[in-house]
Amino acid sequence: MNFTIIHKDFNTAARCGLIRTGHGEIPTPVFMPVGTRASVKSVEPEELKAQQVHIILANTYHLFLKPGNDIMGMASGVHAFMNWEKPLLTDSGGYQVYSLSELRTITEEGVRFKSHLDGSMLHFTPENVIDTQRIIGSDIMMPLDECPPWPAEKSYVQKSGNMTVRWAERAKKRLSATKPLYGHNQLLFGITQGGTYADLRTENSKALVDMDFDGYSIGGLAVGEPAEEMYRMLELSHGVLPEQKPRYLMGVGTPENILNAIERGVDMFDCVIPTREARNGRVYTRTGHINLRSARFADDFTAIDEGFDNHVCRNYTKAYIRHLLNVGEILGLKLCTLHNISFFMWLTRTAREQILKGCFLEWKEDFLATFNAGKQS
Amino acid sequence: MNFTIIHKDFNTAARCGLIRTGHGEIPTPVFMPVGTRASVKSVEPEELKAQQVHIILANTYHLFLKPGNDIMGMASGVHAFMNWEKPLLTDSGGYQVYSLSELRTITEEGVRFKSHLDGSMLHFTPENVIDTQRIIGSDIMMPLDECPPWPAEKSYVQKSGNMTVRWAERAKKRLSATKPLYGHNQLLFGITQGGTYADLRTENSKALVDMDFDGYSIGGLAVGEPAEEMYRMLELSHGVLPEQKPRYLMGVGTPENILNAIERGVDMFDCVIPTREARNGRVYTRTGHINLRSARFADDFTAIDEGFDNHVCRNYTKAYIRHLLNVGEILGLKLCTLHNISFFMWLTRTAREQILKGCFLEWKEDFLATFNAGKQS
């Protein structure tokens, strides 16, 4: 067993667990900062550890292009390459193929596409995506999938979802036929699709559950559909996915989305929000997010979130970080990024504590009331 | 006495000293990383301390423009503003007025210029530049000076140098007429000019020495003249400047320039080389500098300088940093910057140790032979 549920909430589907990987344990619910190209933008691995980050995400598509499998193999995998000795999850790159590359052709075999970097023609198959992730050495791997847009015709979502299931089968087969390269175990999750069509998602999830993956990624959501549709799909997934396997909601999301998904039984999250928005000056506080580029912070010598116990709030004022952003100093981006990561880690860590104490729902409602009331641009 | 000479080299003019400031002592010879706009690019203050940085430099012109004196005053000075509790030196901004601004008019009164940021007309005088540095609260201040280009007509250098002396006198007067704003003492150095005209530099230096400054900045060098000319001026300055005051060679320089200047009695250095070149991928090693953007490091899994005991060499390989630079990750710039700062700190720290051991000249020659032999683009 790679996953243990430690405590289940009484009122909701929320649960606390522990995922075991070759690079240590991950307490859930957990937020995973995004380090697409083997770097969480502007932050060093030891700084991530200091923010209590348990696991980061990297991207198979990007790492396949650069540095490429040769270099990654010579480095003995991504952990050694970037000096990160804690768990790491890789996305399959399917989503990036669809969103970044040109001239893609999807067939039963896999997907042919043009690299967004140099225009060369590349071919991803369920098999070679597993091979690449063996070389990367991620602790948790994703199979190649197709992520349909929203909205999409039901017939298309069904056809695509069925192919994703067949691809998942091939991925699992390849996994069994190969071995980890660096001596640590690698888990493989299944990615459920089906858009917001309840019957399709149920059918698709069941097919994957039958294959017995190490965990289940809930894919094809957070692609533009109303939040209520997403929540409906999570409630449905809760009933279909096995309780004793971790569940990862891909690409989510805002603090509100995360807490509402935890309430519906989700264990793992990743999102570019804390890192990408940081680079535009938006930082998160317990009383809403604010934009530090605003002139009103020019003479505000308080911390981003007074009393919030993290490195950035202990050491820097809004006025200083605003100055750094205002004059284009890189350090401004780094401090905003580090703060936001710390905030999202605090969010899922606190959710966990509140589940353990049996107060999750009450805390969530209090938190969101304060957070949403104070939210600014 | 704000400066104590601890040991004088037997063979050369090199010396080890200790400068006392309101924010602690500075062992000399010392390299001062440049933090123009109250930030050493991409690096946090605590990271600088971990690299054994004793003092950093900020720029009066840039800080006057942004965040401006109002904000700086409300912040209680630059130390509190940026959370740096060790010594800080401010350049007067004269050099930046000449190099960055447009439409400048220099009169006996001061210099009128157009801000390079918003085009507004500004006026720097010897008096208001001291006032601004009172507000900044730097531990070591510079008076407004004019730095002539090289080459320049002798008559111009003489006229300009004489005005710089009169400005220095006015700066000193303003210093006496005002008090530190934040309870710590602020030192004021005189800046010698005279280009590479021996008689002018001697005359100019003597006039400043008569005014009894806390230390002497050797200005108007490293502006394009041959290194030998600069060394000749340093030798001359060594004979004219009082032994018991610290000497700061502004804007220098390469490792070779720094060591040759230490040999000629210079105590303090600042230069953008380690930080600016880092952003282009050039990093310093004991066997020369190398450019990490080069493809030949793509599969080089050794440290930048094997056995060099700093944070970057302990934690990252050339291949990883090259990957970061190659894909445009900010962390690459930060790691190169941090490494180079560490290297320049090691350089002046080792020079100091070697002076104390009586082996400075021998060590310098050995170091430069190895360093210059291995130097690459």
Q: Inform me whether the pLDDT recorded for A377 exceeds 70.
A: no
Torsion (CA) B143, B145, B149, B154 in degrees, nearest 10: -130
Search chain B and give the residue with CA nearest A298.
B71
The active-site residue, picked from B9, B145, B270, B305, is B270
Contact criterion met (CB < 8 Å) for A329 and B71:
no
Asked if residue B100 and residue B62 are part of one domain, the reply reads yes
Q: Provide the CA A202 distance to its chain's centre, in angstroms.
A: 22
CB-side neighbour CA atoms (13 Å) of B304: 34
Res B67: pLDDT:
98
The predicted model gives A346-366 an average pLDDT of 98
Res B103: pLDDT:
78
Task: Give the closest-approach CA distance of A309 to chain B in angstroms.
Answer: 17
How many A/B residue pairs have CB atoms within 8 Å?
107
Res B95: pLDDT:
85
Q: Inform me whether the pLDDT recorded for A161 exceeds 90.
A: yes
- On whether the CB atoms of residues B340 and B275 are closer than 8 A, the answer is yes
Task: Give the closest-approach CA distance of A329 to chain B in angstroms.
Answer: 7
The residue with greater pLDDT, B376 or A264, is A264
Res B376: pLDDT:
63
B293: exposed, middle or buried (C-beta count within 10 Å: 0-12, 13-18, 19+)? middle
Which pLDDT band holds residue B237 (cuts at 50, 70, 90)?
very high
**Sign of the dihedral defined by the CA atoms of residues B202, B205, B208, B214, in that order:** negative
The predicted model gives B324-345 an average pLDDT of 98
Q: Structural domain of residue A65, as residue ranges?
A: 3-270
Helix B360-374 vs helix B330-357: crossing angle, to nearest 10: 150
Q: What is the C-alpha separation between B263 and B300, in angstroms, rounded?
A: 36
Res A257: pLDDT:
98
- On whether the CB atoms of residues A90 and A57 are closer than 8 A, the answer is yes
Q: Provide the CA A340 distance to its chain's centre, in angstroms.
A: 15
The predicted model gives B106-128 an average pLDDT of 93
CATH of the domain at A170: 3.20.20.105
Asked if residue B157 and residue B288 are part of one domain, the reply reads no
pLDDT above 90 coverage of chain B, percent: 94
Looking at A222, A252, A270, the residue that finishes a domain is A270
ipTM of the complex: 0.97
Instruction: Identify the three-state secondary structure at position A222.
Output: coil
Contact criterion met (CB < 8 Å) for A37 and B323:
yes
Asked if residue A263 and residue A129 are part of one domain, the reply reads yes
Chain A residues lying within 8 Å of B75, measured CB to CB: 301, 317, 319-320
Looking at B201, B236, B271, the residue that finishes a domain is B271
Asked if residue B45 and residue B28 are part of one domain, the reply reads yes
- On whether the CB atoms of residues B101 and B116 are closer than 8 A, the answer is yes
Search chain A and give the residue with CA nearest B81.
A320
Task: Give the closest-approach CA distance of B45 to chain A in angstroms.
Answer: 10
Q: Inform me whether the pLDDT recorded for B377 exceeds 80.
A: no
A54-A6-A190 Cα angle (round to 5): 65
Search chain A and give the residue with CA nearest B45.
A315
User: Across chain A, what does the average pLDDT equal?
Assistant: 96
Search chain B and give the residue with CA nearest A42.
B331
Instruction: Look at residues A155, A156, A172, A246 and name the one whose alpha carbon lies nearest to residue A207.
Output: A172
Collect all residues from B whose CB is shorter than 8 A from any CB in A: 37-39, 41-46, 62, 66-67, 70-71, 74-75, 81-83, 298-299, 301, 315-317, 319-320, 323-324, 326-327, 329-331, 333-335
- On whether the CB atoms of residues B290 and A38 are closer than 8 A, the answer is no
Asked if residue B242 and residue B288 are part of one domain, the reply reads no
Q: What is the pLDDT of residues B253-311, one digit of tens each?
A: 999 999 999 999 999 999 999 999 999 999 999 999 999 999 999 999 999 999 999 99
pLDDT above 70 coverage of chain A, percent: 99
Contact criterion met (CB < 8 Å) for A44 and B70:
no
Q: Provide the CA A238 distance to its chain's centre, in angstroms.
A: 19
Search chain B and give the residue with CA nearest A84.
B315
Res B94: pLDDT:
83
- The number of distinct structural domains making up chain B is 2
Asked if residue A161 and residue A74 are part of one domain, the reply reads yes
Q: What is the pLDDT of residues A94-141, one digit of tens each?
A: 888 888 777 789 999 999 999 888 889 999 999 999 999 999 999 999
The active-site residue, picked from B9, B91, B214, B267, is B91
For the stretch A309-335, what's the b/e string if a residue is b when 16 or more beta carbons lie within 10 angstroms of its beta carbon? ebbbbeebbbbbbbbbbbbebbbbbbb
Which pLDDT band holds residue B116 (cuts at 50, 70, 90)?
confident
Question: Which amino acid is it at B22?
Answer: G
Q: Inform me whether the pLDDT recorded for B102 exceeds 80.
A: no
Q: What is the C-alpha separation between B220 and B217, in angstroms, rounded?
A: 10
Phi then psi dihedrals of residue B19, to 5 deg: -100, 130
Asked if residue B287 and residue B254 are part of one domain, the reply reads no
Res B261: pLDDT:
98
Q: Inform me whether the pLDDT recorded for B319 exceeds 60.
A: yes
CB-side neighbour CA atoms (13 Å) of B169: 12
Q: What is the pLDDT of residues B176-234, one digit of tens each?
A: 999 999 999 999 999 999 999 999 999 999 999 999 999 999 999 999 999 999 999 99
CB-side neighbour CA atoms (13 Å) of B92: 31
Q: Inform me whether the pLDDT recorded for B251 exceeds 70.
A: yes
* Nearest-CB residue to B323 (from A38, A42, A43): A38
Q: Provide the CA A130 distance to its chain's centre, in angstroms.
A: 19
Contact criterion met (CB < 8 Å) for A81 and B298:
no
User: What are the structure tokens assigned to B346, written together?
Assistant: 């090691």
Over chain B, what HEC string results? Answer: CCEEEEEECCCCCCEEEEEEECCEEEEECEEECECCCCCCCCCCHHHHHHCCCCCEEEEHHHHHHCCCHHHHHHCCCHHHHHCCCCCEEEECCHHHHHHHCEEEEECCCCEEEECCCCCCEEEECHHHHHHHHHHHCCCEECCCCCCCCCCCCHHHHHHHHHHHHHHHHHHHHHHHHCCCCCCCCCEEEEEECCCCCHHHHHHHHHHHHHCCCCEEEECCCCCCCCHHHHHHHHHHHHHHCCCCCCEEECCCCCHHHHHHHHHCCCCEEECCHHHHHHCCCEEEECCEEEECCCHHHCCCCCCCCCCCCCHHHHHCCHHHHHHHHHCCCHHHHHHHHHHHHHHHHHHHHHHHHHHHHCCHHHHHHHHHHHHHHHCCC
Q: What is the C-alpha separation between A203 and A158, in angstroms, rounded?
A: 9
Asked if residue A339 and residue A213 are part of one domain, the reply reads no
Instruction: Identify the three-state secondary structure at position A216.
Output: strand
The answer to which of A47-61, B90-104, B167-181, B199-213 has the lowest mean pLDDT is B90-104
Contact criterion met (CB < 8 Å) for B75 and A320:
yes
Q: What is the maximum alpha-carbon separation in chain A?
A: 62
Contact criterion met (CB < 8 Å) for B334 and A329:
no
Asked if residue A214 and residue A151 are part of one domain, the reply reads yes
Asked if residue B260 and residue B323 are part of one domain, the reply reads no
Instruction: Give the active site residues of A.
Output: 91, 270
Contact criterion met (CB < 8 Å) for B331 and A39:
yes
Per-residue CA distances from A198 to A193, A205, A209, A240, B117 (Å): 10, 10, 16, 11, 57
Q: What is the pLDDT of residues A293-324, one digit of tens each?
A: 999 999 999 999 999 999 999 999 999 999 99
Q: Inform me whether the pLDDT recorded for B84 exceeds 70.
A: yes
Q: Is the peptide bond before A194 cis (omega within 30 degrees of 0)?
A: no
C-beta atoms surrounding A75 within 10 Å: 23
Q: What is the pLDDT of residues A280-294, one digit of tens each?
A: 999 999 999 999 999
Q: Inform me whether the pLDDT recorded for A230 exceeds 70.
A: yes
- On whether the CB atoms of residues A337 and A283 are closer than 8 A, the answer is no
User: What are the structure tokens assigned to A102, written together?
Assistant: 């040109």
Chain B residues lying within 8 Å of A39, measured CB to CB: 324, 329, 331
User: Across chain B, what does the average pLDDT equal?
Assistant: 96
Looking at A246, A270, A294, the residue that finishes a domain is A270
Asked if residue B308 and residue B166 are part of one domain, the reply reads no
- On whether the CB atoms of residues B5 and B243 are closer than 8 A, the answer is yes
pTM: 0.97
Q: Which residues contact A167 (CB under 8 A, 6 or more apart)?
A: A110, A126, A143, A144, A145, A146
Query: How many residues are given for chain B?
Result: 377
Asked if residue B327 and residue B227 are part of one domain, the reply reads no
